[in-house]
Amino acid sequence: MSEALPPSPTPSSTPPPLQPHEAATLDFNLVVIVAAMLCFLVCALGLNSTLQCVFRCTRLALTEPVQWAASRRLNSGLKKKDMVALPTSTYSNSGSPSRSSGCAICLADFSDGEKIRVLPKCNHWFHVPCIDKWLLSHSSCPTCRNQLKSNDSLPSVETLITL
């Protein structure tokens, strides 16, 4: 008769348990890898946003160069001599009570005797220092965005093409 053979020993399929210092090293390595991946993701998103902005601006400048240049010049600030030529007056509370009594730039109320500047097209009132600072970098009313420069003061399309 045949005798049953004892089962042969098989290699263990489970790895040996990790020592405490090996487990700590593994945890540290995992944290470093996750941190590196997070940094890479943030950098990739930042680069993506930057490139989209560059491509958008470049495409606009290349496809519509004349209109782009004209709009940039129209939205630039006023010249000092044009700004000083705008009318100024002295605020008096006895005027029309229905008007706003505050500067839309600094949000402070007007006081009797203060110098104010009234914009010609929209008749909005501002403190002279507030609106002068604004108009050096913008050519529109800060309240209604009405343009103070006219298209007539801009160079012609032929001049822009030669630039």
- Chain-centroid distance of CA 27 in Å reads 41
Q: How far apart are CA 103 and CA 90, in angstroms?
A: 14
Model pTM? 0.48
| 4-41 pLDDT per residue, tens | 666 655 555 666 666 666 667 778 888 999 999 999 99
Q: How far apart are CA 52 and CA 142, in angstroms?
A: 29
| 81-92 pLDDT per residue, tens | 888 888 888 888
Q: How far apart are CA 103 and CA 110, in angstroms?
A: 7
Token output for 159: 């001049």
| 41-91 pLDDT per residue, tens | 999 999 999 999 888 888 776 776 666 666 666 667 788 888 888 888 888
Token output for 106: 């600094």
| 114-159 pLDDT per residue, tens | 999 888 888 888 999 999 888 888 888 888 888 877 654 444 444 4
Q: Smallest Cα–Cα separation from 160: which of 35, 71, 47?
A: 71
Q: Where are the domains of the chain?
A: 21-70, 78-149
Q: Smallest Cα–Cα separation from 90: which of 108, 121, 117, 123?
A: 117
Q: Residue 11 has what pLDDT? A: 56
Q: Which CATH superfamily is domain 78-149 in?
A: Zinc/RING finger domain, C3HC4 (zinc finger) (3.30.40.10)
Q: How far apart are CA 127 and CA 41, in angstroms?
A: 48
Q: Residue 9 has what pLDDT? A: 57
Q: Residue 4 has what pLDDT? A: 61
